[in-house]
Amino acid sequence: MARWSIVAITCMAVFFSIRTNAWCGEIAPGLLKEIESSGPTREYAVIVKLKETIDHTTLGAAVKDMVREKRVKTVVQEIKSRTERSQQDIRSHLAVRERLGRVKKMKQFWIFNGIALTATAETIKELASRPDVAEVAQDRVITLGVPAPVSTAAPAGWNLDRIGVRPLWNAGYTGQGVVVANLDTGVDITNPELTSKWRGGTNSWFDPNGEHATPADVSGHGTQTMGIIVAGNTVDHLIGVAPDAKWIAAKIFNDAGVTLSSITHQAFQWVLDPDGDPNTNDAPDVVNCSWDLNSNGTGTVDLEFLADVQALRTAGIAVVFSAGNGGPAANTSVSPANYPESFSVGMTDSTDAIDPRSSRGPSAFDGSAIYPAIVTPGAGVLTTDLWFGSSALSTATVNGTSYSAPHAAGAIALLLSGNPTLTAGQVEIAIIRSAWDLGTAGPDNDYGNGFLDVERAARQLNVLPPAPAGDVDGNGMMDLNDVLIVLRAAVGFPTTIVEMDRIMARGDVYPLAAPDNMITPADALTLLRMYVAAH
Ligand SMILES: [Ca+2]
Ligand SMILES: [Ca+2]
Ligand SMILES: [Ca+2]
Ligand SMILES: [Ca+2]
């Protein structure tokens, strides 16, 4: 323990890096324009960003082998103490100005090195000229995109079967012991599907807009995204990927559907340490974000939340983002989904074809990284909706990459319930490597690394044992249903792309010496013989 501390202190010294060599900071162009047009007397809501930033590569390397609880605690403590030290000077400067009434509504952050406040143009210029300040920028308004129209009812659970949840469910991995969070419009806790799945307690709900003391949602968006992760059951009400996971939520969008940069920074900070005590690890294991910073248009990069996403990821929390609805043109990625630390998820329809709206790569972050990371169903998906006190279950059929992201978040929760010692990185890599290749051969910028298959990821991670030969439906044994599936495929019974890929991978058993990459009646016959021989 003592030895680790010494090593840690040595490492900590380089956790901060200075990004820019400029002598003093600047006023962001958008804010400058506003000041020029609105004059000197007005007060502006701004975020002062300091030059020193946490070096997450170094910090990440120092904490990567720690158990989850210690990792979260170490990351929170380190970045807290580093940013506090870094902000000492400017905070005493600001304290004086606050007493004079020249600075108001100060909010200090540690998840990124900055302070939100309101001030007049004169004070803003003075702050921007400080050598420790990188930039003073507007506290921007972020609007939730208008959701696509709700479609007609889809068969319940098609999307869950498609991503291969059943073999995990059958093995008893249903999300138990895993906590997921969303940063969204809130979650309607009165919906009976979601009531008992809330983790509960004051550290499980955060409304930085101060509108709701207990979990609520007036829009439906957050209730719908959370439903795809945790709602329903594994028996007769198929809605969520990981129905035994618990949820917590930060309601970043207010009841009018808008948020601010500062509000969203507060939510990311809350996620890392919901009860404000670094000694208790009450952070979630997975965070789902079904929104983007589209103010600059798609195909651009906006670094507003880079430090926040990096901090969560350094702490070992998976951060899943919807890839955006800016397709079908190439280079339509959005931030924060296109940050390297985000896990971006695009949208397919019920035939496993990419939906035209799904944003395409490459990632604008570096202009070359594959985007999205993966694709999942997102068009025509059944989920929970706002509940108005009726006795009937309240559901909606929804469309958009907003609803693809929760499939991946739920899949990560399932895998973690199968092995809680896995890291976010291990799980994400397994999901990418086990995804079904669609579209152009190999990773591409429509389907990313391919279509989510949580069963294959689980086998790669040894969460599930290798599948028996000929187990086409993945239920853990070679049985008559497998024969039937292969026979139907052989006679051209319509199957989707991923279903056909699955059947090919497991059911192409004839010729025995070298399967021919075709499903024919001979494959079904071979499977039948295998079945008879085994029984
Ligand atoms: Ca805590
Ligand atoms: Ca491909
Ligand atoms: Ca089977
Ligand atoms: Ca064959």
> Which listed ligand is nearest to 432 at the C-alpha?
2
**522 CA to centre of ligand 4 in angstroms:** 7
**484 CA to centre of ligand 3 in angstroms:** 10
**479 CA to centre of ligand 3 in angstroms:** 5
**445 CA to centre of ligand 2 in angstroms:** 8
Q: Which helix (H) or strand (E) holds 18?
A: strand 16-18
Exposed e or buried b for every residue in 36-50, given b needs 16+ CB within 10 A? eeeeeeebbbbbbbb
**167 CA to centre of ligand 3 in angstroms:** 10
**248 CA to centre of ligand 1 in angstroms:** 14
Q: What is the pLDDT of residue 68?
A: 92
Give the span between the Cα atoms of 291 and 288, in whole angstroms.
Answer: 9
Q: Where in the chain is the domain with CATH 3.40.50.200?
A: 158-460
Burial bucket for residue 214 (CB in 10 Å: 0-12, 13-18, 19+): exposed
> Which listed ligand is nearest to 481 at the C-alpha?
3
Q: What is the pLDDT of residue 452?
A: 98
Q: Are 216 and 198 in contact (CB under 8 A)?
A: no
**176 CA to centre of ligand 3 in angstroms:** 25
Taking alpha carbons only, the member of 497, 148, 162, 153 closest to residue 357 is 148
**44 CA to centre of ligand 3 in angstroms:** 63
Q: Which helix (H) or strand (E) holds 418?
A: helix 401-418
Contacts of 464 by beta carbon, 8 Å cutoff, 6+ apart = 167, 168, 171, 418, 455, 458
- Per run of 10 residues, the mean pLDDT along the chain (length 535 residues) is 34 47 73 87 95 96 94 96 97 95 96 97 95 96 78 83 96 98 97 96 98 97 97 95 98 97 98 96 97 83 96 97 96 97 97 95 96 97 89 85 98 98 96 98 98 98 94 92 96 91 95 94 96 91
> Which listed ligand is nearest to 482 at the C-alpha?
3
Tokens of 68: 């989850």
Q: How far is CA 64 from CA 344, 424, 438, in A?
A: 22, 10, 32
**314 CA to centre of ligand 2 in angstroms:** 29
Burial bucket for residue 426 (CB in 10 Å: 0-12, 13-18, 19+): middle
> Which listed ligand is nearest to 480 at the C-alpha?
3
Q: Are 110 and 92 in contact (CB under 8 A)?
A: no
**289 CA to centre of ligand 3 in angstroms:** 35
Contacts of 482 by beta carbon, 8 Å cutoff, 6+ apart = 470, 471, 472, 473, 506, 507, 527, 531
**DSSP strands (E only) in 197-253:** 205-206, 246-251
Q: What is the pLDDT of residue 14?
A: 46
**244 CA to centre of ligand 3 in angstroms:** 25
Q: Are 78 and 52 in contact (CB under 8 A)?
A: no
**493 CA to centre of ligand 3 in angstroms:** 19
**453 CA to centre of ligand 2 in angstroms:** 14
Q: What is the pLDDT of residue 294?
A: 80
Q: How far is CA 148 from CA 219, 335, 356, 358, 455, in A?
A: 14, 20, 12, 12, 30
**182 CA to centre of ligand 1 in angstroms:** 17
Residue 448's DSSP bridge partners are 444
Tokens of 330: 């190439």
**430 CA to centre of ligand 3 in angstroms:** 23
**443 CA to centre of ligand 2 in angstroms:** 4
Taking alpha carbons only, the member of 474, 471, 496, 486 closest to residue 518 is 486
> Which listed ligand is nearest to 530 at the C-alpha?
3
Taking alpha carbons only, the member of 340, 420, 338, 317 closest to residue 63 is 317
> Which listed ligand is nearest to 518 at the C-alpha?
4
**487 CA to centre of ligand 2 in angstroms:** 27
**354 CA to centre of ligand 4 in angstroms:** 28
**499 CA to centre of ligand 3 in angstroms:** 14
**24 CA to centre of ligand 2 in angstroms:** 46
Give the span between the Cα atoms of 11 and 203, in whole angstroms.
Answer: 31
The structure tokens 């086998």 sit at: 459
Q: How far is CA 355 from CA 323, 352, 358, 367, 399, in A?
A: 12, 9, 6, 22, 10
The tens digit of pLDDT for each residue in 420-456 reads 999 999 999 999 999 999 999 999 999 999 999 999 9
**67 CA to centre of ligand 1 in angstroms:** 15
> Which listed ligand is nearest to 73 at the C-alpha?
1
Instruction: Please state the separation of Cα 439 from the chain's center in Å.
Output: 24
Q: What is the pLDDT of residue 187?
A: 98
Residues with CB under 5 A from ligand 1 (ion): 273, 275, 277, 280, 282
Contacts of 453 by beta carbon, 8 Å cutoff, 6+ apart = 163, 164, 434, 435, 436, 498, 502
Give the span between the Cα atoms of 257 and 71, in whole angstroms.
Answer: 34
**436 CA to centre of ligand 2 in angstroms:** 8
Instruction: Look at the domain 158-460 and name its fold.
Output: Rossmann fold (3.40.50)
**374 CA to centre of ligand 4 in angstroms:** 29
**71 CA to centre of ligand 3 in angstroms:** 40
Q: What is the pLDDT of residue 145?
A: 78
Give me the amino acid identity at 432: I
Tell me the whole-structure pTM to 2 decimals: 0.94
